[in-house]
Structure 1
C-alpha cells in the first residue's frame, strides 16, 4: 500500500487508519488490483449524489433518510475495506440531524483520496 503525498493536504497518519488490509487483499484476489481501482472510482463517483441526498435530508429534518444514506455508505465502505469511512458512518448515525455530517464525510473522503490500497508488490499470504 502506498500514499500519494503530492495530493495530500491532510494525510492520514498511517494507511492502516484508512484501509482494512485483509479486505483489500481479498478484493485484489477476487477482482484484481485494476478491478479494485474501478470499484473505488465508482465509490468516489457516487459520493456527490450521496452527500447531496444527505444534506437535503438533514435540511428536511428527515432522520430516517439520513440514517438510510449513512447505512448505505457504511455498507459500501465496509465492502471496499474503507474502515475510516465505515467507522465515521457508524459514528454519524448516532447524530443523524447534525448539519456538519456532510462536511465531516467530505473532509474524510478528501483525506483518504491520497491513500491507495492497491499493492505495489505481490500480495503476501
Structure 2
C-alpha cells in the first residue's frame, strides 16, 4: 500500500509547522512544505501528492489560481484550501472552482482528521493502509 503524501503550501511558518504536525498526527506519512507559489510549483512537478493543502493568500500569487493549475494538470488532485476567510462567498467560490475541502484557520486536529478521512472515502483503495493508521489516533 502507498503511504499518504501531503503538500502544504502556507506562507506563515508557525501555521505551516502546526499544519505539518497535525497532518502527521492524523496519519499522513510524508508532508512536504513550501511557502509560496514558486515553491509549490516546483514541489508539485517533482512529486505526486495525494492531498494539497493550499493557503489562499500567498506572497507571490493566488491560491485559487494555483489550485486551477494543479486541477488542470490532474483533474483528480485532491486540493483543500486553507484560509482565515470564513465567508460563505469564499467557501462557495472555492467549492465551485473545484476545491475538495475548505479549512478555516486556526487549524484543529479534528478538521485535519476530516480532510484525511474525506480523502480516504473518495480514494480508499489507493491508500487503504492509512485507514487503519487514522483510526489509531
Fold match, TM over 0.5?
no
> Where is the strand percentage greater, Structure 1 or Structure 2?
2
> Where is the helix percentage greater, Structure 1 or Structure 2?
1
Q: Which has the larger radius of gyration?
A: 1
Could you state the TM-score of these two structures normalised by the residue count of structure 2? 0.27
